[in-house]
């Protein structure tokens, strides 16, 4: 069953001057864990807002488990942890859970969500006294109340330190194991890398890469070729002759070149006397990310 279906989704602001989302097609199947990754202003939040029916698309359609967003939310099929949206600061954590639960027409998990979010010890603490990371966990707990099939998280770990982030994702992994579909926007590459099975890179309101984490990492065929060189001038001459466009750095006898044709370059290097310790490495996710999104600013 398809959890999320976006067809040619477009959202323009200011009478078309700001093209926040500019034609996104995306299908997410039930049980998938998908990271939406992209630079500031890429259109991630606007896309998630449309998924949740918080803003109407200028064009295109959104379907959540075969339904319109508002209907899916009313039926408790989807819920979210958003960047915006406050908590009731004068209440205690447990009271907030009771209050929000009482507003659902469908049955909820009740206070059990505190344990699932790892904050069962905080039930009697006033929300205003909770740290930013604890409040973020409370938001996560609230999102679990309707026992949703789909969880939408917009930078859920913003404001958490490394340990809090790690344990947040451990809790989330539990939720995912139960078969929930999870879609989350993040700036943290390592979060996307360690948690998501699929990554969708968004830039300039469009999807610029979409695939299993490993594939996206290998999306750019640029490789970093490095080697120990004894004769800098010979190496520079040979590379300049055969690959005039490549930028060559040699520092402390260590050569580093980024090349799309690494095999040919490696062959050439090994034919030069005094070249040893040749290594070819694939780009990190971060490199791929910069390569794929670097030149695509949001159009305005």
Site for ligand ATP in 24-83 (CB under 6 A): 38, 40-46
Pairing of strands 198-203, 33-37: parallel
User: 113 vs 200, which CB is nearer to ligand ATP?
Assistant: 200
Q: How far is the CB of 231 from ligand ATP (least distance, A)?
A: 47
Q: How far is the CB of 204 from ligand ATP (least distance, A)?
A: 9
Pairing of strands 223-229, 254-259: antiparallel
User: 144 vs 298, which CB is nearer to ligand ATP?
Assistant: 298
104 and 146 Cβ atoms separated by less than 8 Å: yes
User: 160 vs 225, which CB is nearer to ligand ATP?
Assistant: 160
Q: Whole-angstrom Cα distance, residue 63 to residue 244?
A: 51
Extract the tokens encoding 51.
Answer: 């998924």
Assess 102 for contact with ligand ATP (CB under 6 A). Answer: no
DSSP letter at 6?
E
| Partners of 252 in the β-ladder | none
User: 20 vs 97, which CB is nearer to ligand ATP?
Assistant: 20
Q: How far is the CB of 196 from ligand ATP (least distance, A)?
A: 16
Counting residues that bind ligand ATP (by CB under 6 A) gives 13
DSSP letter at 102?
H
- Candidates 12-20, 107-115, 237-245, 274-282; binding stretch for ligand ATP (CB under 6 A): 12-20
Assess 20 for contact with ligand ATP (CB under 6 A). Answer: yes
Helix (H) or strand (E) holding 37: strand 33-37
Q: How far is the CB of 46 from ligand ATP (least distance, A)?
A: 3
Tell which residue, 34, 31, 32, 26, has the closest CA to residue 61: 26
Q: How far is the CB of 189 from ligand ATP (least distance, A)?
A: 13
User: 46 vs 108, which CB is nearer to ligand ATP?
Assistant: 46
Residues 2, 7, 10, 13: which binds ligand ATP (CB under 6 A)? 13
User: 40 vs 163, which CB is nearer to ligand ATP?
Assistant: 40
Sign of CA pseudo-dihedral 103, 104, 110, 111 = negative
Q: Could you tell me where the DSSP H helices lie in 227-261? A: 232-242
Tell which residue, 149, 143, 150, has the closest CA to residue 168: 143
Assess 199 for contact with ligand ATP (CB under 6 A). Answer: no
Place of tokens 């055969």: 242
Q: Summarize as ranges the residues that interact with ligand ATP (CB under 6 A).
A: 13-14, 18, 20, 38, 40-46, 298
């Amino acid at each position: 069953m398809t959890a999320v279906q976006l067809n040619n989704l477009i959202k323009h602001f200011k009478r078309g001057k700001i093209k926040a989302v500019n034609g996104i097609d995306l299908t997410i199947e039930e049980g998938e864990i998908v990271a939406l990754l992209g630079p500031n202003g890429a259109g991630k939040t606007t896309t998630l807002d449309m998924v949740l029916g918080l803003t109407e698309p200028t064009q295109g359609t959104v379907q959540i488990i075969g339904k319109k967003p508002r209907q899916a939310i009313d039926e408790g099929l989807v819920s979210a942890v958003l960047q915006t949206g406050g908590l009731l600061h004068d209440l205690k954590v447990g009271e907030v859970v009771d209050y929000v639960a009482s507003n659902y027409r469908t049955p909820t998990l009740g206070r059990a969500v505190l344990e699932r979010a790892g904050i069962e010890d905080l039930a009697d603490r006033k929300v205003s006294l909770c740290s930013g990371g604890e409040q973020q966990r409370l938001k996560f707990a609230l999102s679990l109340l309707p026992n949703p099939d789909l969880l939408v998280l917009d930078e859920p770990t913003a404001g958490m330190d490394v340990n809090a982030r790690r344990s947040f994702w451990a809790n989330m992994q539990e939720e995912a194991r139960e078969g929930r579909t999870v879609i989350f926007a993040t700036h943290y590459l390592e979060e996307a890398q360690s948690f998501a099975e699929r990554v969708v890179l968004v830039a300039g309101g469009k999807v610029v890469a979409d695939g299993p984490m490993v594939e996206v990492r290998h999306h750019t065929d640029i490789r970093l070729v490095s080697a120990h060189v004894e004769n800098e001038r010979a190496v520079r001459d040979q590379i300049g002759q055969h690959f005039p466009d490549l930028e060559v750095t040699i520092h402390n006898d260590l050569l580093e070149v980024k090349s799309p044709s690494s095999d040919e370059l490696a062959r050439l290097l090994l034919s030069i006397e005094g070249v040893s310790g040749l290594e070819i490495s694939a780009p990190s996710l971060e490199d791929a990310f910069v390569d794929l999104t670097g030149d695509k600013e949001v159009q305005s």
